[in-house]
Amino acid sequence: MTSSAPLFSRIALIGFGLIGGSIARAARAQGLAAEIVTTARSEKTRARVMELGIVDRVLDTNAEAAKDADLVILCIPVGVCGDVAREIAPHLKRGAIVSDVGSVKGAVLRDMAAYLPDSVHFIPAHPVAGTEHSGPDSGFAELFINRWCILTPPDNADAAAVEKLAAFWRAIGANVEIMTADHHDLVLAVTSHLPHLIAYTIVGTADELEDVTRSEVLKFSAGGFRDFTRIAASDPTMWRDVFLTNKDAVLEMLGAFQEDLSKLTRAIRRGDGDVLFEHFTRTRAIRRGIVSIGQDAASADFGRPHASLTKKE
């Protein structure tokens, strides 16, 4: 950063989990705010954030945190965004940008817009980034680098405010895409919500078998199963809310998935190797596409570490 003024005088982060904590670390590293304040629902988290020393002030209530901020970002489960919007609405500064980071946009847009005054710019956002960890210690400044942040501004949004929020996300490493909330919810249903549902399902299935013990499932998980356990270890509250608020799109994608699974199940039952081979060849190309645009590690096994062989004496 040169000596020019930071993008915002005060950024308020409501919630300090993986995403809120990563935004705080990245915004501070890039000098994007004169002051960063935050709050969190639990006393324990607020105390921990104070200890971490990443933000300027930790406040006790959402209202205090939002007051006088020119950028307020809700970094909380989508199911409570409406309530928090109602709580902070009377305290928002005229001209402030109010945003969020929720994985569902239609419901958040509807729930929050009902309470926010016309004097602020409400621009929902979703950084498509994360890890399986949660809590105030889980964030890191590099989380958003080369990931996409989707903005879903309402039709009447102020173009300058949208661009300012986009500039903020770009400054912490993200690429920005703009689309409608409805289209976002359909796209994310397939690239995020359905994969999580399937992973949560299969991990549960493996844990409840009669003829295979949990110890066997764990020991032989390198056969493929372990790849599913990472996203099935994601925050339960966040994901409960995602499925409750993006129900229609998730059920639609589930329908498509079930049709395709039926096709492959039938091929297995009938011993139709050609159908299987053709399908498995096609899916290989998708991974090459993801790696080639830098959305996953090119090295084998996601770049998982491998120990060295020690010669046996």
Query: Among residue numbers 235 through 294, which ones bind its own copies (CB under 8 A)?
Result: 236-237, 239-241, 243-244, 247, 250-251, 253-254, 256-257, 260-261, 264-265, 267-269, 271, 273, 276-277, 279-284, 286-290, 293
Query: Do 92 and 119 form a contact (C-beta atoms < 8 A)?
Result: yes
Query: Binding residues for its own copies, how many (CB under 8 A)?
Result: 126
Nearer to its own copies, 57 or 133 (CB): 133
Mask: binding to its own copies, 63-92, rule CB under 8 A, as x and -?
------------------------------
Among 53, 155, 160, 306, binds its own copies (CB under 8 A): 306
Question: Minimum Å distance from CB 130 to its own copies?
Answer: 8
Among 42, 61, 119, 201, binds its own copies (CB under 8 A): 201
Residue closer to its own copies, measured from CB, 156 or 283:
283
Centroid of chain to Cα 69: 23
For its own copies, the binding residues in 159-198 under the rule CB under 8 A are 171-173, 177, 183, 186-188, 190-198
Per CB under 8 A, contacts with its own copies among 99-158 are: 103, 128-133, 138, 140-143, 145-148, 150
Of residues 212 through 231, those in contact with its own copies by CB under 8 A are 212, 214, 216-231
Is the Cβ of residue 106 or residue 173 nearer to its own copies in the bound state?
173
CB of 41 to its own copies, least distance (A): 17
Nearer to its own copies, 60 or 260 (CB): 260
Nearer to its own copies, 1 or 114 (CB): 1
- C-beta of 67: minimal distance to its own copies in Å? 28
Q: How far apart are CA 62 and CA 14, in angstroms?
A: 6
| 60 in contact with its own copies (CB under 8 A) | no
The structure tokens 């590099």 sit at 142
CB of 88 to its own copies, least distance (A): 24
**Does residue 211 interact with its own copies by CB under 8 A?**
yes
Angle, alpha carbons 60-242-304 (nearest 5°): 95
Q: Which is nearer to its own copies, 12 or 143 (CB)?
A: 143
One-letter-per-residue 3-state SS of the chain: CCCCCCCEEEEEEECCCHHHHHHHHHHHHCCCEEEEEEECCCHHHHHHHHHHCCCCEECCCHHHHHCCCCEEEECCCHHHHHHHHHHHHHHCCCCCEEEECCCCCHHHHHHHHCCCCCCCEECCEEEECCCCCCCCCCCCCCCCCCCEEEECCCCCCCHHHHHHHHHHHHHCCCEEEECCHHHHHHHHHHHHHHHHHHHHHHHHHHHCCCCCCHHHHHHCHHHCCHHHHCHHHCCHHHHHHHHHHCHHHHHHHHHHHHHHHHHHHHHHHHCCHHHHHHHHHHHHHHHHHHHHCCCCCCCHHHHCCCCCCCCCC
- What is the nearest approach in angstroms of its own copies to the Cβ of residue 9? 18
Q: How far apart are CA 81 and CA 238, in angstroms?
A: 12
Task: Please say which residue, 156 or 299, places its beta carbon nearer to its own copies.
Answer: 299
